[in-house]
Structure 1
Amino acid sequence: MKRILVTDQNRLRQLQYTGVTEEKLQLIYHHRNHLIPLIDTIVDELYEEIMKVEKLKKLIHEHSNLTHLKETQKEYLKECFLATINDEYIQKRYNIGLKHSEVGLELKWYLSTYTKYADIISIHLSRTIPNVALPLYNAIHALFSFDMQLTLEAYSKIELQKAAHPLRFEFEKVRQINGFTDEDVQNLNQFSGYISFQVEQIMTYFRDIFLQRIGNERVYTFVELENFFAYIKTFLLQFFQEKIYQDSEAFFRIIRDWSRVIIESKYHENFFQITGETLCDALRKVFMTKEYLANQYILQYIHSFERLTKFTLSMIHEIIRPYLFLRDFDFLEIYAYEISTIDFGRLTWTDEKMKRFVKSLGMTGDSPIGKRCYEVLHKRTVPCSGCPVLEGKQETMMTTVESVDGLHYYKVRPLPQNKIFELSRALLIIQDITRESKVMFHTIEKLLQLAEYRDDDTKNHVERIGILSGMLARLAGCDEKFVANIEIAAKFHDIGKVGIPDSILNKPGKLTNEEWDSMKTHAQIGHQILSNLDLPVIQMAASIARTHHEWWNGQGYPNGLKGEEIPLEGRIVAIVDVFDALLSKRVYKDAFPPEQVKAILMDGSGHQFDPKLIDLFIMMWDEFITTRERLLSRD
């Protein structure tokens, strides 16, 4: 009897590519009586390993149970050992791959199951039928390889669907977690016409119950209430006639719009809670009668409606929760804004503080809503580098903003939200740290002035290092933010020398080994002075202080970093520092002529210096020399 009974030519070619042949399947089938009795032991050993992985253990408890999974796997192995591949076998394997992808099992874990199976089977074959263990193992492995390809296809399909409709998958996941199941959807589908048929009666009860619930605390006018009741009636008709609860994107848009009116304080969250409870009560009054209770499924329908309402209210709460935090803690010195992640950076909401902040930046008249955050806040035409939303991180981003009264320093970070909302929106806050930062910056600048006072060459040297480093950074293709930062940060490269004794710092002769060891500590001292201030420019300065004496070949100090382990800013300043120092007169040496300096830098390429940066520097040698001479003439 033939063991390959596949009608699709593409699948036949796929079997051939993975090494599945009639002969191999016949071999498996011939030894089925040896293999099938091993199934229980093989599956037990597999799941003993799986349950050691906490992530997989949790996934099993969430979506199935161990007994059921073991039975499923035993059935699968039995099908493998009976060794017949037909269209049904292929479709079944493919569908199982789809299911595992949908529940969130990572592909690497699923594929590793096949590998673990193969290992376990290999051990048992070598014990039970050693004479044919190797060819039989190869045959089973070929079959597993084919099954793995089907799994990859299934996962690829799901991933493509997730990429095209990410909201649908996240929404479905949250929906089921909240207890609103596929069975509930089927119940609503079956009886959705009941809402339309009895909408007038439902609205009569809804009106009466709603007015009783809000009682004497009415803050809405008669017109507002009438408009609200008309909206509810229209919503019920359209929502259930068109079965919007089945369209994740459309349903989520409605939930998001309702959430927005709460966020903007047009309605209180409790208003929606009362509305949902009142709808459920109105349905019960209409359908919990003798006329309808004769239908055995009507109670299921009512319960499904209630779970839909509960899920909807739960989603609203999850979406608005971080915004309510901002409202309740309004005394915090933070500004909040929301951007679209689909149409990236488009401002979709700002709090009152943020509106005032935007005006302080010089924007008058038009609302910032609809404009890009990076255009409004940073005067950029492209998104900011390091943006926590673009990079998908929760860490704080430090940034500077130029306003009419000077430079301001800010911390920017996203607030955690419901995952489904993050697919379309990101909520960020800005915290102004200008006052604290300026105090610390002022202190650091005083230390730099102290270093200048102790070393006559330092002042002019550090100014040149800043400008020349900016030139090399721009030449290396760095963005303007990096260039602007390094022009300031590079000036602090030797600030650690405030901790070096004058006898060593200004010694005209050669340093002893002990003195040289002491001198080298200035890199660490500088880093310690600067690293406690988390402004980006000072963090870069701390990095430069620590790394501008590291060598490309790893023979520098203080940490023996090598190659690109040395941050780019350190590699840039290393070249510029040596360039300017060699061209300058010091107490311990005369100035070197430019051609000799050029030769020294070229000789250090790939040893002391980054070879790519040296190539760029030498290519623009005349421009660097001219700029340095211009700066000297200005001193």
Structure 2
Amino acid sequence: MKRIRVTNKERLQQLSYTGVTEERLEYLREYRHILFSLIDAIVSELYEDIWAVDSLRDVIQRHSTLERLKKTQAEYLHQCFEATIDDEYIERRYRIGKVHSEIGLDLMWYLATYTKYLDIIYKHVSAVLPKEATNILLVVQTIFSFDMQLTLEAYKSVEIEKAAHPLRYELDKLRQVHGFTNEDLENLEKLSGYISFCIDDIMNHFYHCLVHRLGEENRYSFLQTEKYLSYIRNFLLQFFQEKVYCDSEAYFLIIRDWSRLIIEQRYQESFFHISSESIGEALKKVFLTKEYLHDPKIVQYIHSFERFSKFTLAIMNEIIRPYLFLRDFDFLDIYAYEISTIDFGRLTWIDDKMKRLLKTLGIDEEHPIGRRCYELLHNRTVPCSGCPALEGKSEPMMATFMNEHGVSYYKIRILPQTKIFELSRALLVIQDVTKESKVMFDTLERLLQLAEYRDDDTKNHVHRIGMLSRMLARLAGCDEQFVSHIEIAAKFHDIGKVGIPDYILNKPGKLTKEEWESMKTHVLIGHQILANLDLPVIQMAANIARTHHEWWNGGGYPNGLKGEEIPLEGRIVAIVDVFDALLSKRVYKEAFPPEKVKEILIDGRGKQFDPKLVDLFVSMWDDFLMARERLV
């Protein structure tokens, strides 16, 4: 009898490539009874090792039990030693691979267990069949190789499914966490006809349960309740008749709309809990009667509905939690708004504090909902570069706003939400850091003035570097945020000179080797001064301080970076710093004529300077010269 009973030609080819043949399987089958007797010991040793790994133990405890897994694994090993591969074997292995992927077991760990398995099998087989152990292991290894291919395919298919249907995937994960199973879905489907048939009785009991539960604390008028009853009746009919609970996208839209009512404070969260409990109680009063009690399936249906209700409320809780946090901690100096990530940047909600902030900033928008955040807040026609929601990063974006009091500084960061809501929404908060920023900039400006005062010939050098860097950044096609940042950041490129002795800074002659080494430390001093200050523009300044003396060919200092290892801001300032320094009179030299400076820059193309940036700079040479002259 054939040991390979596979109908799919591609699978047969896979088996052939991995070395699984009729002859090898037949050989393994001859020893199956001896091998069967080893299964329990092999599986026990394998799971001893697996249980010792914290992450694997955590996966087991969350999704199964050790005894259950041992039993499943023993069945698998029995199939391997049975040495028969058919379509059912392949489908089972593929399905098991998908399950492991869906519960989050790391693929590398899963594949590593096969290697561990082989070691343990060889050890136990060698003890009873020493002469045959190697050949037996080779056959088992070919079977495992084929199974690993099936596992890889299964993991890949799950990743494709996640990408194609992220909402379905996230909802399925939450269903597992909250114990709402596929069996419950099947029960709901069977119950749908009963609910439609008994809708009037259900609604009658629901009304009385609702009124009783709301009691004296009922803050909803009779008219609202009447309207609400009509909504619930239609919802139950349509929801179960059309089996909306099986359509993840439609079901999530309903949950999202309910959550929005709580977020906008039109209903309290407790109202939804009371409504859910009232529907559950109404179903029990209608169905758990003498007429239906003899049918145990009805009890299962009711329990499934209760689990479904709890699952729905759990998702709502996940959605609204960060919004309730903002409401509870209203004393914090933060302003919140929400944007659509599907129709990117469209404002879908703002809190009351944000409305007040808009007015403070002079943004007189009566109905901001529906506008794009980047249009409203930043006067942009395209999304902001560095946007935390767009780039999916946790670091804040720095924003500046002008008003009658001058410049205000704000950090914009994304507030973590449940993964399922992040598929369509992003919740952002703006934190006012104007006071802290002004203190920081004032301190740095004083250090900058000190550096200028001590390096007497620089005069307006730092301000020219800022302006020229902005021009070159814009010419290089950088976005406006980068352009505005580099104009500020470039001014601090030599702030580290505050740590260099006066006799070296102002020495009229050539520096000695020791003096030059001391002078070179200004880049590290500057970086140390700036690096720990928590503002994006100052972080850019720190990068410039450290890298504006690096060379394109790697011959610069302090780290010998080369090419694009040097950040763009460092490459830009390297050019404009040399340009301005050569055109300036210094204590140790006269000013160079413009044509000589141009030659030096072109000669440094591809050596000291980024060749593309030099080409751009030279192409607008006269414009850079005229701009510099205005600040001399």
Q: So what's the TM-score if we normalise by structure 2? A: 0.91
- In structure 1, how many angstroms separate the alpha carbons of the residues matched to 2:605 and 2:60? 57
Q: Is the 8 A contact 2:469 2:572 kept in 1?
A: yes
CA–CA distance in structure 2, aligned partners of residues 633 and 247 of structure 1: 67
Q: Does 1:616 align with 2:610?
A: no
**Paired residue for 1:436?**
436
Distance 1:615 1:563, change over 3 A: closer
Alignment match, 1:14: 14
- 1:322 equivalent to 2:319? Answer no
Kindly state the Cα deviation for residue 493 of structure 1 after the two structures are TM-superposed: 0.6
* 583-592 vs 545-554, greater mean Cα deviation: 545-554
Task: Provide the rounded CA distance (Å) in 2 between the counterparts of 1:361 and 1:475.
Answer: 31
- Corresponding residue for 1:272? 272
Which residue is equivalent to 1:181? 181
* 1:313 aligned onto 2:313: yes
Output the amino acid matched with 2:391.
E
In structure 2, how many angstroms separate the alpha carbons of the residues matched to 1:262 and 1:33?
65
Which position in structure 1 is the counterpart of 2:165? 165
Distance in 1, matches of 2:381 and 2:449, equals 37
- Residue range with higher mean Cα deviation, 124-133 or 135-144: 124-133
Q: Which residue of 2 aligns with 1:459?
A: 459
Does structure 2 conserve the Cα–Cα contact (< 8 Å) formed by 1:400 and 1:408?
A: yes
Tell me the secondary structure at the aligned position of residue 216 of structure 1. helix
For the Cα contact (< 8 Å) 2:472–2:617, is it kept in 1? no
Most deviating of 227-236 and 376-385: 376-385
3-state SS of paired residue (1:389): helix
- Say whether 1:415 aligns with 2:412: no
Task: Give the 3 Å change call, closer, same or farther, for CA 518–77 of structure 1 in structure 2.
Answer: same
Moved more, 422-431 or 531-540: 531-540
Moved more, 353-362 or 409-418: 353-362
Can you list the C-alpha shifts for 1:384-435, whole angstroms capped at 9, x where unaligned? 3332223333333323345576543211122222222222222111112123
Q: Distance in 2 between matches of 1:511 and 1:306?
A: 83
CA distance in 2 between partners of 1:216 and 1:113 (Å): 61
Whether 2:199 is the aligned partner of 1:202: answer no
Cα gap change, 1:382 to 1:17, in 2 (>3 Å) = farther
Alpha-carbon contact 2:3-2:84 (below 8 Å) kept: yes
Map residues 591-602 of structure 1 onto 2, 5 A cutoff.
Answer: 591-592=591-592
Distance 1:554 1:342, change over 3 A: same
Change over 3 Å in CA distance of 1:295–1:23 after alignment to 2: closer
- Name the structure 1 match of 2:238: 238
Q: Are 2:122 and 2:133, in contact at CA under 8 Å, matched by a contact in 1?
A: yes
Distance 2:428 2:444 in 1: 30
Corresponding position of 1:215: 215
Q: What is aligned with 1:82? A: 82
3-state SS of the aligned residue for 1:410?
Answer: strand
* SS of equivalent residue, structure 2 residue 349: strand
Cα shift readout 1:232-282 (whole Å, capped 9, x = no counterpart): 222222222223223222222111111111111111112112212222222
2: CA distance, partners of 1:615 / 1:294? 84
The whole-number CA distance in structure 1 between the counterparts of 2:581 and 2:50 is 62
Q: CA shift at 1:199, angstroms?
A: 1.9
Query: Which residue number corresponds to residue 247 of structure 2?
Result: 247
Cα displacement string for residues 130-176 of structure 1 (whole angstroms, at most 9, x for unaligned residues): 76666554443332222222222222222222222211121122123
1:550-569 deviation line (CA, Å, top 9, x unaligned): 45566654456566554332
Task: Answer yes or no: is the 8 Å Cα contact 1:358–1:376 preserved in 2.
Answer: no
* 1:627 equivalent in structure 2: 624
Q: Does 1:519 align with 2:519?
A: yes
- Give the AA of the match of 2:624: T
Deviation of 1:337 after TM superposition, in Å, equals 0.8
Could you tell which deviates more after superposition, 250-259 or 576-585? 576-585
Cα distance in 2 for residues equivalent to 1:459 and 1:87: 82
Percent identity of paired positions between Structure 1 and Structure 2 = 66
C-alpha distance in 2, partners of 1:563/1:32? 63
Distance 2:71 2:217 in 1: 60
Alignment partner, residue 448 of structure 2: 448
Distance 1:129 1:284, change over 3 A: closer
Contact conserved, 1:437 with 1:533, CA < 8 A, in 2? Answer: no
Aligned to 1:495: 495
Alignment partners' CA distance in 1, 2:487 and 2:247: 54
TM-score using structure 1 length: 0.90
Contact 1:468–1:624, Cα closer than 8 Å, also in 2: no
Change (3 A) 1:125 1:582: farther
User: Does residue 389 of the first structure (1) align with residue 376 of the second (2)?
Assistant: no
Q: Which structure 2 segments of 5+ residues have no match? A: none
SS at match of 1:534: coil
DSSP-derived class of the 2:460 partner: helix
1:554 and 1:539 mapped to 2: Cα distance? 23
Instruction: Report how far residue 89 of structure 1 moved.
Output: 1.5
Q: Could you tell me which residue of structure 1 aligns to residue 535 of structure 2?
A: 535
Aligned-partner residue type, residue 111 of structure 1:
L
Moved more, 161-170 or 575-584: 575-584
SS state at 1:215 partner: helix
Counting matched residue pairs gives 632
- Given that residues 448 and 492 in structure 2 are in contact (C-alpha distance below 8 angstroms), is that contact kept between their aligned partners in structure 1? yes
The structural deviation recorded for 1:510 is 3.0
Q: Distance in 2 between matches of 1:535 and 1:196?
A: 60
